[in-house]
Structure 1
Amino acid sequence: MAKTSSPRTKAQRDAILRERQQLKMAASAHAYVRGSTVRFYDWLRSDAVQATVPAGPDIWICGDCHTGNLGPVADVEGNIDIQIRDLDQTVIGNPAHDLLRLGLSLAMAGRSSDLPGVTTALMLEAMIGGYGAALAGRADRVLPEEIEPIRKVMRESKNRRWKHLAEERIEDVKPTIPLGSKFWALNADEQKELETLFDEEGLHQLVQKIGNDAEPQQVRLLDGAYWMKGCSSLGRLRYAALVGVGEKKRHEYRLLDLKEASRAAAPCTKGKEMPSNDAERVVAGARALSPFLGDRMLPAKIAGRPIVVRELRPQDLKFELIGLRQADAIAIARLMAGVVGRAHGRQMDRVTRQSWAKDLKRRNGKGLDAPRWLWSSVLDLVALHEAAYLEHCRRYAMGAA
């Protein structure tokens, strides 16, 4: 690996990561919501909120179900569906919490797109409708007519190949990770830890599985780097690893994301058993909620700390809800809620799904399809986060000055 002036100590890295995090959160109110999950959880834990939110069946939930965490995902055979893409906060808990988080995110996306307030009401109604339809189990995957507002993204996802992933993530198709603003050089201990990890049988089995290889193939670590990525990963280990599979002169390449799993901040159901190892918790939640993604993940350890190894695929895309029109915003709300409904519903039997759907619709306001508890909660959350966002921007501006 080439020598570089990349920051190598934890203090140096954290200082840069903290600055980047503050900048990203100041970019828009919607971005602030994505980066301030703890504020949402603090609000959620209050007794007044708990008294109004319906208690759903105990299942795996995303825990951080904002719009940026949903998108196209490929399975090990290359099939594409829209599923939950980030499961760091996954726990066994109340599925209503995912709906609240999604509702807040959609409302803030609408406001960031300068859509009128009536659009938010229509988005929440569409959200409940889409969630209920998917919960009923009418389709295992997203239907063609549902993807109309993101058809361009889905078309791009299907057409992407390794070269697109390489150019996007590592800026080149050559088998190295270019060091610079996104990727930083490993120190000697980290290099040794990665090499040790790639000697383990479990990781080799994961690479074999995701490649659909009929015969065992040689797996080599070609390059690795510390990855400066994410808005909520501050202080956690994050690495990118470039892997070669097969004969040396005829390598197929795999790009792996190695991310430290920390304790979930999302409220979980008391008394329900979950893996005590946080990496195992994340993988278990992923396999329950997003099987396309969960089958491409593995719990492991680096320096004694739990990490999740995840293969990155060219078809996995994140799309931003920016500059939305009202019709598209409403359709996207229904689509995304349907994704969450399928993720929840596949963990319930038919009777439980029907009972939960009825509980969700209780206490409706007159003329509203969206439950009153959802509407009032999103109003509170929007007000809370708008004020917090402006205060964050004021402090950021003062710090910059």
Structure 2
Amino acid sequence: MDDPVSLHCDRTPSPRGDRQAAGKALRQTVPRSAHRDWHPQGDRPNPLDLLAKSNQQRIPNLIPIRHWRMMQSPFTFMRGSAIIMAADLATTPTTGIPVQACGDCHLLNFGGFATPERNLIFDVNDFDETLMAPWEWDVKRLTTSFILAGRDLQLSDRDSSEAALAAVQAYRLAIAHFSEMRTLDVWYARLDAKVLIKHAPDEATRRHWEKMTTRAFNRTLDRAVVQLTEVVDGQRRFIDNPPLIYHLPNQAEYFEQISLLFEQYRDTLQVDRQFLLDRYRLVDVALKVVGVGSVGTHCGVALLLDDNDDPLLLQYKEARPSVLEPYAGKSSYPHEGQRIVSGQRLMQAASDLFLGWTTNVEGRDFYFRQLKDMKTAIKLKGMSARSLEDYAEICGAALARAHARTGDPAMIGGYLGESNAFDQAVTDFAVAYAYQVEQDYQKLVEAVQSGHIEAIPG
């Protein structure tokens, strides 16, 4: 699919009932059953070629670490290959209803984090690929991730499919709920961790959410500083642990570059947050490897101290064009960091105080955010089938809330309807596409084994 998808962007006000009817009418041109099939086209790009394309302009010595992380399982391969699935999703049917999409919507890109008021909420938490795009793309990627995660956990095919189905069903029911709400109420809606614990369907799930909440409250700034920094010659600095976190040989020059980057980033913050940030001074920076898909991009950490030597940790990440852009159209933002920050603010119920963006002297875009402050994610290893299904429901509902903020929940809800027709169709798609991911994963493994692609543990 070479041309950007056609999206309905008409924001002319119309009654909720009319928009629901318009969504229902879309079933005539795009039946819900049309979302079931996955048949790779004859001109489907070689997945390894797309990976090579995504490796362009990454830090060369870190690319083998990215390959190693991706080849641990088909699920980790999927996490690092959003570019491949974006190309494939662009060939599938869509209703043309746009939302601010996550773009890399898999189950580990959700989690708990603190609001500025220090409340713990659950939400989407990765936005490197965010863009206005069809809502179906996020739903299909999320659902596929549950099939692959279930297989990674060695659950039965039935259990994996039930978890995937639960995610889509929760999305549909939540969209229906948000479609009946007032606009401001949708904007204020959030999934509070306390509510998740209170309404857990069983004791095992309640304990799971309590552990997740405890981990979040234990992941304080002070703890992160102890883990990541040390005092050398009276100066606090990051602990070198190459290749995962390290200072550069030309550290003094690099520090000056990031200092300039930091000053420019400050100007993108709200005035009150500029005032807060001005209480701190930058004392150290280091490169840091993060995630799977981001490995090899320019990511680093910054240590700041105030007059009392109390710390603040920030992360800066290179902001590259979204993998959705060739298929959904170019971003409306002139700056990739601004695209990511704006997308995050649009989708999340509450966002980091220190989100901002800037560009370095080489013309590369970056964005800043706070590092490891009351953030937590599920521990996938050892999850039971029931826990995975419960988690799928929460992710589906969280995604629906994010889409309802920028999309038209009445129109999407009208299309989805009250039956499970869409739920089952997308689950069937996810099962079929998971096999595609496994085939692509095997190609990477074979390329590494033959020496055509390098992979290094890290």
Q: TM-score range by the shorter chain?
A: 0.7 to 0.9
What's the counterpart of residue 285 of structure 2? 224
Distance 1:11 1:110, change over 3 A: closer
* Partner amino acid, structure 2, of 1:194: I
Aligned with residue 343 of structure 1, among 402, 421, 439: 402
TM-score (norm 1): 0.83
Aligned with residue 255 of structure 2, among 170, 191, 209: 191
Q: Deviations over 1:51-86 (max 9, x none)?
A: xx443x322110101112110111222221111111
Indicate whether 1:243 and 2:304 are aligned. yes
* Partner amino acid, structure 1, of 2:98: D
Indicate whether 1:112 and 2:113 are aligned. no
What's the counterpart of residue 173 of structure 2? 133
* Aligned-partner SS, 2:321: coil
Conserved 8 A contact 2:289-2:295: no
What's the counterpart of residue 391 of structure 1? 443
* Aligned-partner SS, 1:256: strand
Conserved 8 A contact 2:265-2:356: no
* Aligned-partner SS, 1:292: coil
Distance 1:363 1:218, change over 3 A: closer
Runs of 5+ consecutive residues of structure 2 not aligned to the other structure: 1-54, 182-188
Q: Deviations over 1:316-339 (max 9, x none)?
A: 123342222111111010011111
* Aligned-partner SS, 1:175: strand
Conserved 8 A contact 1:225-1:239: yes
* Greater relative CO, 1 or 2 (CA 8 Å, sep 6+): 2
How large is the RMSD of aligned CA atoms in angstroms?
3.0
Distance 1:12 1:200 in 2: 23
Distance 1:217 1:270, change over 3 A: closer
Distance 1:309 1:207 in 2: 16
Distance 1:224 1:101 in 2: 35
* Partner amino acid, structure 2, of 1:98: D
Conserved 8 A contact 2:265-2:368: no
Indicate whether 1:19 and 2:61 are aligned. no
* Partner amino acid, structure 2, of 1:232: G
Indicate whether 1:62 and 2:107 are aligned. no
Conserved 8 A contact 2:229-2:237: no
Equivalences for 1:44-63 in 2 at 5 Å? 44-46=89-91, 49-50=92-93, 53-55=94-96, 57-63=97-103
* Partner amino acid, structure 2, of 1:118: R
Conserved 8 A contact 1:286-1:294: no
Indicate whether 1:166 and 2:222 are aligned. no
Distance 2:241 2:261 in 1: 24
Indicate whether 1:253 and 2:311 are aligned. yes
- Moved >6 Å (runs of 4+): 10-13
* Aligned-partner SS, 1:42: helix
Q: How many residues align?
A: 373
What's the counterpart of residue 86 of structure 2? 41
Aligned with residue 409 of structure 2, among 353, 363, 381: 353
Distance 1:207 1:317 in 2: 29
TM-score (norm 2): 0.74
* Aligned-partner SS, 2:191: coil
Indicate whether 1:332 and 2:391 are aligned. yes
Distance 1:265 1:286 in 2: 16
What's the counterpart of residue 3 of structure 1? none
Distance 1:311 1:347, change over 3 A: same
Identity %: 22
Distance 1:268 1:81, change over 3 A: farther
What's the counterpart of residue 150 of structure 1? 209
* Aligned-partner SS, 1:242: strand
Q: Deviations over 1:167-193 (max 9, x none)?
A: 44x155883111222222233542221
What's the counterpart of residue 96 of structure 1? 136
* Partner amino acid, structure 2, of 1:184: Y
Distance 1:390 1:11 in 2: 22
* Aligned-partner SS, 2:154: coil
Distance 1:363 1:385, change over 3 A: farther
Q: Deviations over 1:88-118 (max 9, x none)?
A: 0000111111101101111100010011111
Distance 1:259 1:63, change over 3 A: same
Larger mean Cα displacement after TM superposition, 356-365 or 184-193: 356-365
* Aligned-partner SS, 1:300: strand
Conserved 8 A contact 1:92-1:272: no
* Partner amino acid, structure 2, of 1:113: L
Distance 1:361 1:171, change over 3 A: farther
Distance 1:270 1:32 in 2: 23
Distance 1:308 1:156, change over 3 A: same
